[in-house]
Amino acid sequence: MSGRDPADRSLARDDEPLREILEAEARIQRHLRGVDERSFLSDELLRAGVAGNLLFLSAACARVSSATRARSPDVPWRDLVAARGLLVRDDASIDWSAVWRMTRGSLPKVRARLAALVAG
């Protein structure tokens, strides 16, 4: 039996989804570099690129263990997992302003915390 703390083992298992979250967040930020909300709302291809990465990010968040989530209560895990719900509906009912707020508000704020988790 390993002498490692169970929380450390959880974090090690979570390395892959945490890296996937960071990669998806970075892609979202690259898509949105130099873009204002009006441009985002009017560009279907841009919205599709952001939406795809947000779905990927949300799915990766859902795979993070409860032990790792408990170690980082400042990360809005529930909101990040729920982001999928913003997008999994017909396009006419997606609240693209809410997607914009999430990508410009909460996502960049959690990047440093997630990077610290990955770094150990």
Asked if the model's pLDDT at residue 117 lies above 70, the reply is yes
Structure confidence by residue, pLDDT tens digits, 2-33: 455 555 566 678 999 999 999 999 999 999 99
Whole-number pLDDT of residue 32? 97
Q: Is the dihedral of CA 69, 70, 73, 79 positive or negative?
A: positive
Whole-number pLDDT of residue 52? 95
| Alpha-carbon span 59 to 55, nearest angstrom | 6
With bands split at pLDDT 50, 70 and 90, how would you rate the model's confidence at 1? very low
| Alpha-carbon span 3 to 50, nearest angstrom | 42
Q: Where are the domains of the chain?
A: 6-119
